[in-house]
Amino acid sequence: MDFYGKDFLKILDFSEDELRYMLGTAKKFKEMKKAGQNHKYFPDKNIAILFEKTSTRTRCSFEVAARDLGMGVTYLDPNGSQMGHKESIADTARVLSRLYDGIEYRGYGQAIVDELAKYSDVPVWNGLTDECHPTQALGDFMTIEEHFGKLKGLTLAYVGDTRNNVANSLMAMSVKMGVNFIACGPEALRPSEDILAACQPIAVKNGTTILLTSDMNMLNKRADIVYTDVWLSMGEDKAKWGERISLLQPYQVTMDVMNRANDGAIFLHCLPSFHDLNTSVAKEVNAAFGLTEMEVTDEVFNSEKSLVFEQAENRMHTIKSVMFLTLYKKGE
């Protein structure tokens, strides 16, 4: 399997075998890191990580993973480059790929990262767009496989805003890896026709199901993984909070939801999460709408069923795997 020079833009670009290989490589890197084994394979390489939206996990994962592989890293923050306002995406790609061996991009439309990749001579890695969050899905499936010892036949229920970037990548990853996918949320926030049209044939081929529902009871004795995310994603208009809250409050993940899911069900969340009032955004929402918890209760978030911090750690191991595989030239 050779990934040298390839971009990592969305899950649908890769086969099940390729995704499995990425997960296997991440597992090896995790073992090496835990054993304290040096894996600085690329002491002469440098990467640029370009963030037009804020980040904790993705930025830190790229930085730590790059340094573990021996590479230099340049971080460009949301105001730190000319891209978009003074320089086109194409020109930015052509400049950065003269200087760097790989480019990470987090930002708005998927078309931007696609264009960066088109004009770049080096691999481009998608660190989140409005439509996709592929490195997230990879880290999540590493976490799921570590916990259950398998993927095939499990059922992942994504609850809430089922048309967001995280939900899209999880649907794609589920159908590729033989996991049944439930998108549970209000009809107004259903996955797009495009993502469904892309995923349905893969689900049929792999013998998995995609269920779209507004009924939380569909998780009962069925969902092995209950996954949720924020109700308003980065880049969305804050004026929509009120509408989102009324649409999504019935889809809050409570301990009752977890107890009614399949025996041994786990809770996952990409993070950051509004499960208490210890953030300024949660305080603002509380002042305006009176909520003390949003997409998940504090009880579930902090329970033994919650693997959210394992997930966060696995972002780094899987991102390292993607960078290694796309930068490593066989025979060198």
Residues with catalytic annotation?
Answer: 106, 133, 136, 229, 270, 315
Q: Are 226 and 267 in contact (CB under 8 A)?
A: yes
Q: Which of 64, 198, 212, 234 binds ligand NVA (CB under 6 A)?
A: 234
Torsion-angle region of 160 (φ positive above 0: left; ψ -120 to 50: alpha; else: beta):
left
Q: Whose Cβ is closer to ligand CP: residue 143's or residue 180's?
A: 143
Between residue 137 and residue 196, which ones bind ligand CP under the rule CB under 6 A? none
Half-sphere exposure of 331 (CA within 13 A, CB side): 2
CB of 160 within 8 A of CB of 245?
Answer: no
Please state the closest distance from residue 254 (CB atom) to ligand CP, in A: 22
| Tokens found for residue 326 | 């796309």
d(CA 332, CA 328): 8
- What mask of x and - would describe binding to ligand NVA in positions 175 to 214, judged by CB under 6 A? ----------------------------------------
Residue 113 interacts with which of ligand NVA, ligand CP, none, CB < 5 to 8 Å by class? none
* Identity of residue 262: N
- Considering the rule CB under 6 A, would residue 275 count as an interface residue with ligand CP? no
Q: Which of 136, 165, 174, 208 binds ligand CP (CB under 6 A)?
A: 136
CB of 290 to ligand CP, least distance (A): 26
Pairwise CA distance, residues 85 & 235, whole Å: 17
Which partner, ligand CP, ligand NVA, none, binds residue 252 by CB below 5 to 8 Å per kind? none
Q: φ and ψ at 126, to 5 degrees?
A: -85, 115
Rule CB under 6 A: is residue 7 a binding residue for ligand NVA? no
Q: Is 57 near ligand CP (CB under 6 A)? A: yes
279 binding ligand CP? (CB under 6 A): no
> Which partner from the list ligand CP, ligand NVA, none does 56 bind, CB cut-off 5 to 8 Å by kind?
ligand CP
Residue 231, token pair as written in the block: 């109700």
268 DSSP β-pair partners: 227
Output the DSSP codes for 189-258: GPPPHHHHHHHHHHHHHHT--EEEES-GGGGTTT-SEEEE--SS-TTS-GGGHHHHHHHHGGG-B-HHHH
The rounded distance, in Å, linking the Cα atoms of 151 and 143 is 10
Chosen residue from 25, 165, 311, 314 binding ligand NVA by CB under 6 A: 165
Which residue in the set 97, 126, 164, 297 belongs to the binding site for ligand NVA (CB under 6 A)?
164
272 cis-preceded (ω within 30 degrees of 0): yes
CB of residue 312 vs ligand CP: minimum separation in angstroms? 7
**Contact flag: residue 271 with ligand CP (CB under 6 A):** yes
- Minimal distance, residue 280 CB to ligand CP, in Å: 15
Q: Where along the sequence are the contacts to ligand CP (CB under 6 A)?
A: 55-58, 128, 136, 270-272
Q: Where along the sequence are the contacts to ligand NVA (CB under 6 A)?
A: 128, 164-166, 229-230, 233-234, 270
